[in-house]
Amino acid sequence: MATLEIRDLHVTVDTGSQGEGPKEILKGVDLTIDGGQTHAIMGPNGSGKSTLAYSIAGHPKYTVTRGSVTLDGADVLAMKVDERARAGLFLAMQYPVEVPGVSVSNFLRTAKTAIDGDAPKLRTWVKDVGSAMERMKMDPAFAQRSVNEGFSGGEKKRHEILQLELLDPKVAVLDETDSGLDIDALKIVSEGVNRFREKGDRGVLLITHYTRILRYITPDFVHVFVDGRIAEEGGPELAERLEAEGYDRFLRANA
């Protein structure tokens, strides 16, 4: 059972040309995700939700100034980005990037080889990819297209969950996977995440603005993010309360 443990995490981002110097975004985050658990992080724009996701993954734009992140006791912050992936971390991005000239098929097999240390047997791999694409309702022709190039928003998100299924990490960090999805794509993506959860020993950190995806993916815990901190924690009922009341009471309290 994997455990991702975050303790007193403080993170700054360089504002660059704005001339303001480093700006603190995360201001002491404590969070533990055990295998078999799904945690949802909700909060208003600019509260630090995506910063948490990218800091866990190792994005160079973000600097950890204090605190720790461990996966099964191993120091994640001491790892390079590729080492974090091999250790079992996975990030589904809010805005998946296009990779012209690299086919989906080659991208997936290269990623699987890098993570496992050995290339999967080609015949078995082709079958696995085909089956996964069918479950994600993706046209098999997408396997020969360049990664995300010309994909719709829904196709990009389905491709992210296709990666999740094939790479099979210990902990999946899903950054606004529901962003820009119509109802059909939302259901397909949610079903893919639920298949991953059904393995029973995988952890999921689901970042979202809205409760609609939580109608299909039921979290064990809900955390409200405000101004770089967790302002409140609870179960699925907290998401329902947010749907009814919004974030105003948290913003007023923070002010």
Q: Is 101 left (phi over 0), alpha (psi -120 to 50) or beta?
A: left
> Is residue 16's pLDDT more than 80?
no
**Residues 34-59, mean pLDDT to the nearest whole number:** 95
Question: Could you tell me which CATH class the domain 3-96+170-254 is placed in?
Answer: alpha beta
- State how beta strands 203-208 and 38-42 pair: parallel
Mean pLDDT (the chain) is 93
CB 85 within 8 A of CB 115: yes
The residue with greater pLDDT, 58 or 179, is 58
Distance CA 207, CA 213 (A): 10
Look at residue 101 and tell me whether its pLDDT is greater than 70. Answer: yes
Q: What percentage of the chain exceeds 90 in pLDDT?
A: 85
Tell me the H-state helices in 4-92. Answer: 49-57, 81-87
**Rounded distance between C-alpha atoms, residue 167 and residue 50, angstroms:** 22
Domain boundaries, the chain: 3-96+170-254
| Residue 249 confidence (pLDDT) | 85
Helices and strands counted in the chain (H then E): 8, 12
Four-CA torsion 191, 197, 203, 209, nearest 10 degrees: 30
- State pLDDT tens for residues 106-119: 999 999 999 999 99
Do 176 and 146 touch, CB atoms closer than 8 A? no
Is residue 255 predicted with pLDDT exceeding 90? Answer: no
